[in-house]
């Protein structure tokens, strides 16, 4: 501002000078012009210099202002960093305080005992003093009292140490459960599953950066148990980002990511994840890592099977068998056994039943003498699958013998995975007797199974019990005991409604249709029709394929009820409703069903069949 004022004064001073020149005696025109030009040039030069100095002053003022603002920004940033650091410190302090609180809570019983011991000690000491003062006991008596107090304190402290030792043993066991959780599997027992769920809940309450690898193992396995696939996928991806490719946690996270993708029906993405990990880890010689590679190959085969690519699935299983057969590591031998069993299943899907049975025999021959739990499970699995394959081939007597081996050998073993196979063997044996027409034997086997597993809580065993109740009702029906059959279906329906297990909903729907059939056999056609209407009303919006098959049966059987009684229009109406819901007519079924004989030659019924030939299947 001062510079600009100075320039203005110069210009103001120049005006009188120029005026004076105008008042001077006349000069030659050229001389006057030269003077004016020289003066103007000097003034312009002075103005430029003044402007330059003004610009320089402004630049220095601007630079000073920028520097001041930068200093303030740095100070603010420093203050923010310090605030963030204080926040992090506070967060860590909170975690520490929480941990201390948990330790204090775990040691609560110990503190109670110590306080109790202290109170007891003070009481005893006061009693000793009173006795000493009032009775003036001898020093020997006092010494004995002190000794008694010391013994009591030692006993209390021993008890405290025992409690603390139990707490530490529990903490060690919990850590081992979480650390040993394999990817893609839930904890084996309900108690262990509860431990995992508790750890996962506590971990989810902590910030991401404060979670350990064990925390994420628990979180992911708990999501697996709860079938929360999207949440499991997110947790697996977080685990990868937090712990990096060079850690053991990364392999667990990648396997879990692939597993979740598979359950979300993103099968090709899941296979790509597994293939990437197989390539990354295949050259690592660590047996634990190689066990992970074997698991990845097996699960890749399972996903290929879900894509109906059974030949490619067999290739994956053969990789496991070829690479790890010569290994003496028990865990790898277990994976070989798993791969063999799954290879057998894939061969069965391709209709190669004899080859399937040969594979199961290989499992039994190679691992049948082992007492390792993981191998025993696969041996039992191979026996049961062999029985199923024999039944498919119509060799029901041999199937019964195989199922008998499973029951005799493994029924007394308390391992849950073996009890699952034993329950399947019971049902398979009952079914095989039924296929031979030996329904009394089938019923006896079902009763034995229900007596053995009826009170068990495990969903897998409850489903097998429900299957046995269903088949026993069916067997009674085949023996002409229609009331017993209806009673059996009623028992099954009540059990399904009480347990509400998702796996039993299809079986309950089938039981309701079967019950209606036997009502018809008892001549209760009205009750039969009402029962079919109930199934249609309750399940018609269910898109599950097996449920849709049951609903179609209800529509078809309802038409049969009307056809038996000669109600042509009602029978046609029922079949039209079935067609409207998207269920086609079955040409062979219509031709073979005797219930349609009373109306088969009716003109209206013939016309209906002719008009809907395009909607019939064979």
Least confident of 62-71, 239-248, 318-327, 534-543: 62-71
Residue 303 has pLDDT above 50, yes or no: yes
pLDDT at 63 (0 to 100):
72
pLDDT at 447 (0 to 100):
97
User: Could you tell me which residue, 588 or 521, shows the higher pLDDT?
Assistant: 521
Task: Give mean pLDDT, residues 553-557.
Answer: 95
pLDDT at 148 (0 to 100):
61
Angstrom distance (rounded) from CA 354 to CA 39: 120
Same domain membership, residue 395 and residue 458: yes
Residue 34 has pLDDT above 80, yes or no: no
List all residues 6 or more positions away from 312 whose beta carbon is below 8 Å from its beta carbon: 301, 304
User: DSSP secondary structure string, 78-97?
Assistant: HHHHHHHHHHHHHHHHHHHH
Please report, for residues 130, 173, 229, the alpha-carbon distance to residue 141 in angstroms, rounded to integers and kept in the order given: 13, 48, 73
3-state secondary structure 481-548: CHHHHHHHHHHHHHHHHHHCCHHHHHHHHHHHHHHHHHHHHCCCHHHHHHHHHHHHHHHCCCCCHHHH
Same domain membership, residue 473 and residue 376: yes
Which residue, 448, 479, 510, sits at the end of a domain? 479
Q: How confident is the model at residue 94 (pLDDT cuts 50, 70, 90)?
A: low
Q: Dump pLDDT digits (tens) for 210-245.
A: 899 899 999 999 999 999 999 999 999 999 999 888
pLDDT at 27 (0 to 100):
42
Any domain includes 132: yes
Any domain includes 201: no
Q: Dump pLDDT digits (tens) for 335-353.
A: 999 999 999 999 999 999 9
Residue 434 has pLDDT above 90, yes or no: yes
Q: Using an 8 Å Cβ cutoff, are 299 and 184 in contact? A: yes
Same domain membership, residue 458 and residue 377: yes
Task: Give mean pLDDT, residues 457-476.
Answer: 94
Buried b (16+ CB within 10 A) or exposed e, 523-533: eeeeebbebbe
Any domain includes 438: yes
Q: Dump pLDDT digits (tens) for 107-163.
A: 444 444 433 444 454 444 544 554 444 445 455 544 564 456 566 666 666 765 665
The whole-model pTM stands at 0.67
pLDDT at 49 (0 to 100):
73
Q: How confident is the model at residue 191 (pLDDT cuts 50, 70, 90)?
A: confident
Which residue, 424, 446, 479, sits at the end of a domain? 479
Report CA Rg, the chain. 44
Same domain membership, residue 153 and residue 48: no
Same domain membership, residue 469 and residue 389: yes
Nearest alpha carbon to residue 388 among 377, 367, 403: 403
Nearest alpha carbon to residue 388 among 340, 421, 339: 421
pLDDT at 85 (0 to 100):
64
pLDDT at 6 (0 to 100):
41
Element (H, E) at 417: helix 416-435
Least confident of 22-36, 177-191, 499-513, 586-600: 22-36
Same domain membership, residue 457 and residue 383: yes
pLDDT at 246 (0 to 100):
72
DSSP at 330? H
Angstrom distance (rounded) from CA 386 to CA 366: 15
Residue 285 has pLDDT above 70, yes or no: yes
User: Could you tell me which residue, 17 or 109, shows the higher pLDDT?
Assistant: 109
Treating both helix axes as pointing N-terminal to C-terminal, what angle do 310-324 and 287-306 enclose, rounded to 10 degrees?
170
Task: Give mean pLDDT, residues 363-390.
Answer: 96
pLDDT at 50 (0 to 100):
64
Any domain includes 515: no
Any domain includes 412: yes
The count of structural domains within the chain is 3
Residue 413 has pLDDT above 80, yes or no: yes
| CATH number of the domain where residue 450 is located | 1.25.40.10
Same domain membership, residue 460 and residue 376: yes
Residue 334 C-alpha from the chain's centroid:
23
Same domain membership, residue 384 and residue 447: yes
Which residue, 179, 196, 223, sits at the end of a domain? 179
Residue 308 C-alpha from the chain's centroid:
23
Q: Dump pLDDT digits (tens) for 259-268.
A: 999 999 999 9
Residue 164 C-alpha from the chain's centroid:
35
- Cβ atoms < 10 Å from Cβ of 135: 9
Residue 65 has pLDDT above 80, yes or no: no
pLDDT at 179 (0 to 100):
59
What are the two backbone dihedrals, phi and then psi, of residue 149, each rounded to the nearest 5 degrees?
-60, -45
How crowded is the C-beta side of 452, counted as CA atoms within 13 Å? 21
Angstrom distance (rounded) from CA 150 to CA 1: 94
Any domain includes 496: no
Any domain includes 230: no
Same domain membership, residue 117 and residue 52: no
Q: Using an 8 Å Cβ cutoff, are 561 and 528 in contact? A: yes
User: Could you tell me which residue, 414 or 82, shows the higher pLDDT?
Assistant: 414
Q: 617: which strand partners?
A: 586
Residue 99 has pLDDT above 70, yes or no: no
pLDDT at 81 (0 to 100):
59
Range of the domain at 150: 108-179
Percent of the chain with pLDDT over 90: 56
Average model confidence (pLDDT) for the chain?
82
Any domain includes 153: yes
Residue 364 has pLDDT above 80, yes or no: yes
Angstrom distance (rounded) from CA 377 to CA 193: 20
User: Could you tell me which residue, 421 or 60, shows the higher pLDDT?
Assistant: 421
User: Could you tell me which residue, 502 or 349, shows the higher pLDDT?
Assistant: 349
Helices marked H in 136-244 — which ranges? 139-179, 190-204, 213-226, 229-243
pLDDT at 78 (0 to 100):
62
DSSP at 211? -
User: Could you tell me which residue, 60 or 492, shows the higher pLDDT?
Assistant: 492
Residue 566 has pLDDT above 60, yes or no: yes
Angstrom distance (rounded) from CA 120 to CA 144: 17
């Amino acid at each position: 501002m001062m510079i600009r004022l100075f320039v203005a004064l110069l210009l103001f001073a120049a005006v009188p000078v120029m005026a004076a020149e105008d008042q001077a005696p006349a000069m030659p025109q050229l001389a006057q012009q030269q003077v004016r030009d020289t003066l103007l040039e000097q003034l312009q030069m002075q103005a430029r210099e003044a402007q330059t100095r003004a610009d320089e002053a402004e630049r220095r003022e601007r630079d000073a202002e920028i520097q001041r603002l930068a200093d303030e920004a740095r100070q603010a940033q420093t203050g923010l960093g310090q605030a963030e650091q204080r926040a992090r410190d506070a967060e860590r302090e909170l975690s520490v305080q929480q941990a201390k609180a948990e330790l204090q809570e775990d040691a609560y019983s110990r503190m109670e005992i110590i306080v109790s011991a202290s109170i007891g000690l003070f009481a005893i000491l006061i009693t000793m003093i009173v006795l000493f003062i009032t009775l003036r006991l001898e020093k020997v008596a006092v010494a004995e009292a002190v000794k008694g107090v010391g013994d009591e304190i030692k006993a209390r402290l021993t008890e405290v140490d025992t409690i603390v030792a139990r707490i530490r043993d529990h903490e060690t066991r919990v850590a081992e459960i979480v650390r040993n959780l394999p990817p893609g599997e839930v904890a084996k027992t309900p108690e262990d599953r509860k431990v995992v769920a508790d750890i996962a809940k506590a971990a989810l309450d902590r910030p991401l950066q404060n979670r350990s690898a064990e925390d994420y193992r628990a979180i992911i396995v708990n999501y697996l148990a709860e079938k929360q696939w999207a949440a499991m996928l997110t947790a697996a991806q977080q685990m990868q980002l937090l712990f990096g490719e060079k850690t053991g946690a990364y392999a667990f996270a990648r396997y879990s990511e692939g597993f979740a993708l598979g359950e979300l029906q993103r099968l090709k993405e899941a296979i790509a994840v597994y293939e990437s990990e197989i390539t990354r880890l295949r050259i690592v010689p660590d047996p634990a890592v190689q066990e992970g590679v074997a698991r990845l190959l097996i699960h890749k085969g399972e996903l290929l099977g879900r894509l109906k690519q059974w030949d490619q699935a067999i290739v994956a299983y053969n990789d496991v068998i070829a690479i790890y057969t010569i290994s003496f590591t028990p865990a790898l031998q277990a994976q070989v056994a798993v791969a063999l069993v799954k290879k057998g299943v894939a061969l069965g899907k391709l209709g190669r039943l004899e080859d399937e049975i040969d594979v199961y025999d290989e499992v039994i021959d190679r691992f049948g003498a082992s007492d390792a739990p993981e191998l025993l499970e696969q041996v039992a699995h191979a026996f049961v699958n062999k029985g199923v394959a024999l039944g498919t081939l119509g060799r029901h007597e041999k199937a019964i013998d195989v199922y008998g081996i499973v029951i005799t050998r493994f029924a007394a073993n308390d391992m849950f995975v073996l009890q699952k196979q034993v329950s399947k063997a019971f049902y398979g044996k009952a079914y095989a007797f039924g296929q031979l027409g030996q329904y009394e034997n089938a019923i006896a086997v079902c009763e034995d199974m229900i007596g053995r597993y009826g009170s068990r809580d495990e969903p897998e065993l409850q489903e097998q019990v429900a299957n046995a109740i269903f088949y026993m009702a069916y067997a009674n029906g085949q023996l002409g005991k229609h009331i017993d059959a209806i009673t059996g279906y009623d028992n099954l329906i009540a059990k399904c409604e009480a347990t509400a297990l998702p796996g039993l909903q299809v079986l309950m729907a089938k039981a309701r249709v079967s019950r209606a059939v036997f009502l018809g056999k008892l001549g209760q056609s009205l009750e039969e029709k009402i029962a079919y209407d109930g199934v249609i009303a309750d399940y018609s919006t269910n898109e599950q394929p097996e449920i849709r098959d049951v609903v179609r049966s209800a529509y078809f059987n309802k038409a049969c009820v009307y056809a038996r009684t000669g109600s042509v229009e009602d029978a046609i109406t029922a079949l039209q409703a079935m067609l409207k819901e998207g269920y086609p007519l079955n040409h062979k079924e219509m031709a073979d069903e005797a219930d349609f004989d009373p109306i088969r030659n009716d003109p209206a019924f013939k016309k209906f069949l002719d008009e809907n030939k395009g909607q019939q299947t064979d």
